[in-house]
Amino acid sequence: MLNIATLLVFSFLMGISSFGSGLLPLYLNLNEMHISLVSALGTGIIISSALTIVLEEGLSTLQSSGSDLSMFGPYILFGFIAMYLFDNLGKAFRYQNLSLDTGIQDRDVNEHIYPESSQWSNLFTSVLRTSTTLGLCIHSLTDGIALASSILTRNMRIGVIIFFIVAIHKLPSAFALTSILLREGLPKDLIYKHVGLFSLSAPSGAILTYIIARLLNLSDLPYYTGALLLFSGGTFLYVGFHSLMTITDNRGRISKLELGLSILGMVLPLVFSLLRE
């Protein structure tokens, strides 16, 4: 009961914080430079946490199960590949749908993408036609798998760490999602729904993963818990490296301050890991 309660609390906090962060661009005119600096620090934390904490915990869990460690690398790779695929699925939907609208003027495209129909039909159509929302929602489902895997370890420390790792990169993502949707000219009522759907994706993925694991008794087998942690580590590595490549200015170079903050972010989890030893 403690595990499911912890999962529900983390899921609730994650959903509320993501939704709140996504609403900020609707009401505040924040400095993009400040957001970029925070993103640089968060990117460093994500990469370092994956390497020094999550993967270490996954390896330790596999070892405690007495299993062969030959799958250590492949599980990490599977997580990386899964996130790479999920991150690009939205673009595939976008290209497929836009091919039907060739030659239509911008005004007509907007009317086609966001028709006057039922609310659910309108939301479903707009999400399919918006690669950013679709990609981030699929991405968030994988974040939920990572969160659930940490809860299944019955290790509160690793659960809290992964919760913060997920939150660190979800909050800027929610903010960026709303900013992009505003630039694309979506009505505010649709933006609320897009952000709400994004905010629910990770909690839904976490709860669904936990339920499946419990029904199949996977939570009682350290091997599967370790495999999920390694998979999660692979997803975080993709998120971190992808974010690292996008922290550039208009000249295509990272600023000295961003470089320093990203390195600081990489050092902090390492120091934490060494201190707990």
pLDDT tens track for 183-231: 777 788 888 888 999 999 999 999 998 888 888 877 656 788 788 888 8
State the pLDDT at residue 106.
44
Out of 3-7, 8-12, 136-140, 248-252, the most confident range is 8-12
pLDDT for the residue numbered 122 = 65
Looking at the predicted structure, is the pLDDT value of residue 90 above 70? no
Cα–Cα distance, 149 to 224 (Å, whole number): 9
The pLDDT, as a whole number, for residue 131 is 62
What pLDDT is attached to residue 103? 42
Contact of 52 with 273, CB cutoff 8 Å: yes
Terminal CA-CA length for the chain: 30
Look at residue 85 in the predicted model and tell me its pLDDT: 83
The pLDDT of residue 272? 77
Mean pLDDT of 234-248: 80
pLDDT band at 112 (very low <50, low <70, confident <90, very high): very low
Query: Which of the pair, 155 or 52, is modelled with greater confidence?
Result: 52
Give φ, ψ of 248 to 5 degrees.
-135, 160
Residue 199 makes CB contacts below 8 A (sequence gap 6+) with 14, 15, 16, 18, 19, 22, 174
Q: Is the pLDDT of residue 18 over 60?
A: yes
Sign of the torsion angle spanned by Cα atoms 129, 130, 135, 136: negative
Q: Which whole number is the average pLDDT over 53-65? A: 82
Determine if residue 217 is left, alpha or beta; phi over 0 gives left, psi from -120 to 50 gives alpha, anything else beta. Answer: left
| pLDDT of the residue at 144 | 86
124 versus 25: the higher-pLDDT residue is 25
Tokens of 42: 């968060």
Mean pLDDT of 20-39: 76
Measured between alpha carbons, how far is 49 from 236 in angstroms, rounded to an integer?
9
Mean pLDDT, residues 94-121 taken together: 48
Instruction: Report d(CA 86, CA 131) in Å as an integer.
Output: 11
Question: At residue 28, does pLDDT exceed 90?
Answer: no
- pLDDT, residue 115, reads 46
**What confidence score (pLDDT) does residue 78 get?**
93
User: Pick the residue with more confidence: 194 or 25?
Assistant: 194
pLDDT for 102 equals 42
For the chain, the average pLDDT equals: 77
φ, ψ (nearest 5 deg) of residue 116: -80, 95
Average pLDDT on 221-250 reads: 78
Non-local CB neighbours of 17 within 8 Å, separated by 6+ positions: 167, 170, 171
